[in-house]
């Protein structure tokens, strides 16, 4: 069965620092990949998604992610974080033929001003 | 409304009590999903509807859990004889189509606490 690993459970950064959050999935084949964000007290929102094509995907608020098929990875990056990026970030994978998302355990990001 | 709406937002149930959680998806969305999110974990899939048809219920943890979407719009997740391990946030999501490459929109969830 598909599983998703997010290696960093808690990350603390200062404003303007660069961010990279790791995400690896276990099962190969055709996958769709997602990063969701949950700001305090709010619902899960889609940051970005990869379905096919260019493996470097740009999302909202300056986030991007790179799909590396050989490494089963889909790491999230942002060159310069802001205090407002404080949130929990979830990586998720959807396998071909299935509609369900398989989520990682999430990474809590705290950005100090 | 503009988004997925879930009610109630919070529910406290005594162990053994039955509960019903409601989800109003975005109007016109074909697909509807239920997820369970335990404290400190990511959401875990429970069940999936395409219109009124429940196509996947592989994630329902026991026969105490039952979901329905009788008219292909509003959905209800029912948990019978609640147990403490049922305490979690229950998330509903909907998407416009039933294909892989469509975005799922999530509601704010119902936080269930079983005491």
Mean pLDDT by 10 residues, chain A (113 residues): 91 97 88 93 92 93 95 96 97 84 96 93
Burial B41-56 (b: 16+ CB within 10 A, else e): ebbbbbbbbbeeebeb
Closest listed residue to residue A83, CA positions, set A110, A44, A47, A55 = A110
Residues B27-40: tens digit of each pLDDT = 999 999 999 999 98
CB contact under 8 A, A94 and B107: no
Q: Does A23 touch chain B (CB under 8 A)?
A: no
Mean pLDDT, to the nearest integer, of B79-87?
98
Alpha-carbon span A47 to A30, nearest angstrom: 21
The model's confidence at residue B99, banded by pLDDT at 50, 70 and 90, is low
What's the rounded Cα separation, in Å, for the pair A32 and B1? 28
What is the enclosing helix (H) or strand (E) of B112? strand B110-114
A101 vs B86: CA distance, rounded Å? 20
* pLDDT at residue number A100: 87
Tokens of B44: 């875990």
C-alpha to C-alpha distance for A113 and A15, rounded to whole angstroms: 6
> Which residues in chain B are contacts of A101 at CB distance < 8 A?
33, 35, 43, 45, 104
Q: Is A86 on the interface with B (CB under 8 A)?
A: no
Asked if A51 is an interface residue toward chain B (Cβ–Cβ < 8 A), one would say yes
Contact A49 B103 (CB under 8 A): yes
A101 reaches B (C-beta below 8 A):
yes
Residues of chain A with C-beta less than 8 angstroms from the C-beta of B33: 99-101
pLDDT of residue B1 exceeding 60 = no
All residues of chain A having their beta carbon less than 8 Å from the beta carbon of residue B44 are 103
- Look at residues B74, B23, B77 and name the one whose alpha carbon lies nearest to residue B47: B77
C-alpha span between B92 and B114 (Å, rounded): 19
The pLDDT score that the predictor gives to residue B53 is 96
Q: Do B40 and A105 touch (CB under 8 A)?
A: yes
**Nearest residue of chain B to residue A91 (CA atoms):** B42
pLDDT score for A86: 97
User: Assign residue B98 a region: left if phi > 0, alpha if psi is -120 to 50, beta otherwise?
Assistant: alpha
Q: What would the two tokens of residue A72 be?
A: 């089963």
Q: Residues A76-106: pLDDT tens digits? A: 999 999 999 999 999 999 887 777 899 999 9
- With a pLDDT cut of 90, the percent of chain B lying above it is 90
CA distance A48 to B14: 40
Q: To which residue do tokens 């379905």 refer?
A: A51
Question: CA-to-CA distance for A8 and B93, rounded, in angstroms?
Answer: 26
Answer whether B85's CB lies under 8 Å from B77's CB. Answer: no
C-beta neighbour count of A97 within 10 angstroms: 8
Mean pLDDT score of chain B: 94
């Amino acid at each position: 069965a598909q599983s998703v690993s997010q290696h960093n459970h808690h990350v603390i950064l200062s404003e303007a620092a660069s961010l990279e959050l790791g995400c690896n999935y276990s099962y190969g084949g055709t996958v769709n990949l997602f990063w969701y964000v949950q700001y305090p007290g709010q619902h899960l929102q889609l940051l970005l998604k990869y379905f096919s094509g260019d493996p470097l995907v740009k999302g909202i608020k300056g986030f991007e992610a790179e799909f590396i098929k050989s490494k089963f990875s889909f790491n999230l990056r942002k060159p310069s974080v802001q205090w407002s990026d404080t949130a929990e970030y979830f990586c998720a994978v959807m396998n071909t033929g299935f509609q369900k998302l398989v989520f990682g355990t999430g990474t809590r990001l705290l950005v100090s001003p | 409304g503009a988004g997925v709406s879930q009610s109630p937002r919070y529910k406290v149930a005594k162990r053994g009590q039955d509960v019903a959680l409601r989800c109003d998806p975005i109007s016109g969305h074909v697909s509807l999903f239920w997820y369970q999110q335990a404290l400190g974990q990511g959401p875990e899939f429970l069940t999936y509807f395409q219109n009124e048809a429940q196509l996947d219920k592989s994630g329902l943890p026991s026969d105490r859990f039952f979901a329905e979407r009788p008219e292909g719009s509003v959905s209800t997740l029912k948990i019978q004889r609640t147990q403490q391990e049922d305490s979690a946030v229950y998330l509903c999501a909907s998407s416009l189509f039933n294909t892989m490459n469509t975005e799922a929109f999530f509601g704010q969830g119902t936080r269930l606490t079983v005491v």
